[in-house]
Amino acid sequence: MSLKVHEMNRFTFFVVALLLPFSLFSQNSDVFPVDQDSKLVTYQEVVQQAGTQDELYIRGIEWLNSYYKNPADVSRVRNRESGVIELMHRIEIENQAEGTKVGAGIVNYDLKIEFKPGRYRYTITNLTLRQASRFPVERWMNKEDQMYSPLWDNYIQQVDTKVKEIIVSLKTGMEPKTEKPEEKW
């Protein structure tokens, strides 16, 4: 009797393990926002924020310097006059097997922040898996691709989560700093 229960548990585990990636993808199939013109995955938003173009630019530089370990290497353009910061960075993705995380690759991305009085716009795009040839992450959404793997569904979720963390950090860093009153003694 216990042998049959054990076999049924193995069968149940096998079915769940087989179907889980498909259920995850069905929940996350529209996770990536795709630009209608370029057909690239693109996260973009105009954020209303108090401040002059120069004040917002300075906050953007402060955020860049605090968020990235090597901000000088990450940033490609820092143009205070035109109010533009452009950077290139990467997101590490993982495979998770039996509680162990194993590196699955690196996804490069571009981030452009443009500043105007009272607002700024961020654009995160050109997400590509680093490998011998260019592999745009948009392919992960195509289940008809001959290279399709259910692992791609998890990669989509990982990249989306990380990009949203970057956006939250940027928005927080762009908020005006509250100045402490001078201590009188």
Q: Are residues 19 and 107 in the same domain?
A: no
Q: Are residues 74 and 164 in the same domain?
A: yes
Q: Is position 179 within any domain? A: no
pLDDT at 18 over 50: no
Q: Is position 6 within any domain? A: yes
Q: Indicate the pLDDT class of residue 122, thresholds 50, 70 and 90.
A: very high
Q: Is position 130 within any domain? A: yes
**Average pLDDT for 139-159:** 91
| CB neighbour burial string for 43-54, b if at least 16 within 10 angstroms, e if fewer | beeeeebebebe
Q: Are residues 21 and 38 in the same domain?
A: no
Number of domains the chain contains: 2
Q: Indicate the pLDDT class of residue 30, thresholds 50, 70 and 90.
A: low
Q: Are residues 1 and 55 in the same domain?
A: no
pLDDT at 175 over 90: yes
Q: pTM here?
A: 0.75
Give me the domain span that covers residue 26: 1-30
- Alpha carbons 170 and 83: distance in angstroms, whole number: 16
- pLDDT number for residue 133: 82
Q: Are residues 139 and 95 in the same domain?
A: yes
CA 9 to chain centroid: 37
| CB neighbour burial string for 93-122, b if at least 16 within 10 angstroms, e if fewer | beeeeeeeeeebeebebbbbbbbeeeebeb
pLDDT at 154 over 70: yes
